[in-house]
């Protein structure tokens, strides 16, 4: 019986189902055979050489981003699965698959509204869990579309300097395909110059190509409510973690994973759906029939790399 699988050795599509490989925790895994080069292989759907079942891995990731600690996730798995995993393994799953999915989703173009709000949130990180005193003061710079509640881009960095702010504006410009007309920020002094550098300056009108709406709360000009609500959701998750304990890379991966959870997994009361359904209608049709969104995103991320 022929199928659409491709041989990893000779890239031939002339493959057939061959045998099933028995595993201790994942059950039977289908093995295929290439009729051109006689090589047998297993499809890599994002869980290649993983000792645990994809359902168990994605369940752990989902529980973590819903506010459960890795040790509590471990206790939960011990009740329902005969073979338990350590809390360190769960942490590695979270970091690994957050990287894989974010690499895929950050390349997507989005149909956001004309306004995007940008702000930064202070975070605290210990270099290791053994460090008792002193913490590193880092920043998470993010952007959100107030209309669709979609988090356009977020980045965990050591400082909120010109280079870090510019990267956020560049991602907004690229992902929105220059559809954004207004960028709303607070009174941080680096914003106006970086908006001008990324979005360009019109010599005829003597103004920036994108309008900069600066809201300074200390002067009584109000608050950027949508992005402040986003920060409150982030703080709610980070509060139970008591800050980050590790490298910048792992902290950034966790925040990328939380952004995926915010955009693709959980529904928002204000719009009664996930934000990605409003800004990516075609991609929403692809994920519509997939109940386990984490599994679907991992599979599509891996398929995009092939």
Mapping DSSP to helix (H, G, I), strand (E, B) and coil, where does residue 140 land? strand
Residue 218's CATH number: 3.30.420.10
pLDDT for 72-113, tens place per residue?
999 999 888 877 789 999 999 999 999 999 999 999 999 999
Both 120 and 241 in a single domain?
Answer: yes
pLDDT for 20-63, tens place per residue?
887 777 778 888 888 888 888 888 788 888 888 889 999 999 99
Residue at which a domain ends, from 211, 227, 246? 246
Residue 278 maps to a domain: no
Range of the domain at 9: 1-43
pLDDT for 219-228, tens place per residue?
766 668 889 9
Q: Which stretches of the chain are DSSP H helices?
A: 54-65, 70-80, 87-105, 162-176, 191-199, 225-241, 248-260, 276-279, 281-288, 293-305
Query: What are the structure tokens assigned to 100, written together?
Result: 């894989």
Confidence at residue 2, expressed as pLDDT on a 0 to 100 scale: 37
Residue 269 maps to a domain: no
- 259-263: long-range pairs with CB below 8 Å, 24+: 259/102, 259/142, 259/151, 259/154, 260/98, 260/101, 260/102, 260/105, 260/297, 261/62, 261/65, 261/66, 262/151, 262/230, 262/233, 263/105, 263/150, 263/151
Both 27 and 133 in a single domain?
Answer: no
Both 130 and 39 in a single domain?
Answer: no
Strand partners, 136: 125
Confidence at residue 306, expressed as pLDDT on a 0 to 100 scale: 61
Query: What are the structure tokens assigned to 30, written together?
Result: 């289908």
| pTM of the predicted protein model | 0.87
- Give how many domains the chain has, as a whole number: 2
Residue 206 maps to a domain: yes
Residue 58 maps to a domain: no
Confidence at residue 174, expressed as pLDDT on a 0 to 100 scale: 92
pLDDT for 247-279, tens place per residue?
889 899 999 999 999 999 999 988 999 999 999
């Amino acid at each position: 019986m022929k199928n659409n699988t491709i041989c990893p050795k000779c890239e031939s599509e002339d493959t057939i189902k061959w045998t099933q490989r028995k595993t201790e925790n994942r059950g039977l895994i289908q093995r295929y055979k290439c009729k051109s080069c006689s090589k047998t292989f297993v499809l890599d759907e994002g869980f290649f050489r993983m000792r645990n079942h994809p359902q168990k891995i994605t369940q752990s990731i989902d529980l973590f981003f819903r506010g459960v600690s890795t040790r509590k996730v471990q206790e939960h798995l011990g009740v329902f699965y005969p073979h338990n995993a350590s809390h360190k393994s769960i942490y590695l799953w979270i970091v690994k698959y957050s990287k894989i999915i974010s690499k895929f989703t950050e390349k997507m173009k989005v149909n956001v509204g004309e306004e995007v709000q940008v702000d930064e949130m202070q975070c605290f990180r210990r270099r290791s869990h053994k460090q008792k005193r002193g913490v590193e003061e880092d920043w998470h710079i993010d952007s959100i579309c107030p209309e669709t509640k979609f988090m356009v881009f977020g980045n965990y960095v050591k400082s909120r300097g010109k280079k870090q702010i510019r990267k956020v504006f560049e991602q907004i410009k690229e992902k929105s395909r220059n559809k954004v007309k207004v960028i709303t920020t607070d009174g941080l002094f680096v914003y106006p110059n970086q908006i001008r550098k990324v979005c360009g300056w019109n010599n005829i009108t003597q103004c920036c190509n994108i309008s900069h709406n600066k809201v300074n709360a200390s002067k009584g000009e109000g608050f950027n409510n949508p992005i402040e609500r986003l920060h409150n959701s982030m703080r709610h998750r980070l509060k139970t973690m008591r800050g980050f304990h590790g490298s910048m890379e792992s902290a950034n991966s966790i925040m990328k994973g939380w952004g995926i959870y915010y955009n693709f997994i959980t529904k928002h009361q204000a719009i009664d759906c996930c934000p990605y359904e409003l800004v990516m209608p075609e991609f929403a049709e692809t994920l519509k029939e997939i109940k386990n969104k984490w599994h679907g995103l991992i599979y599509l991320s891996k398929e995009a790399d092939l």
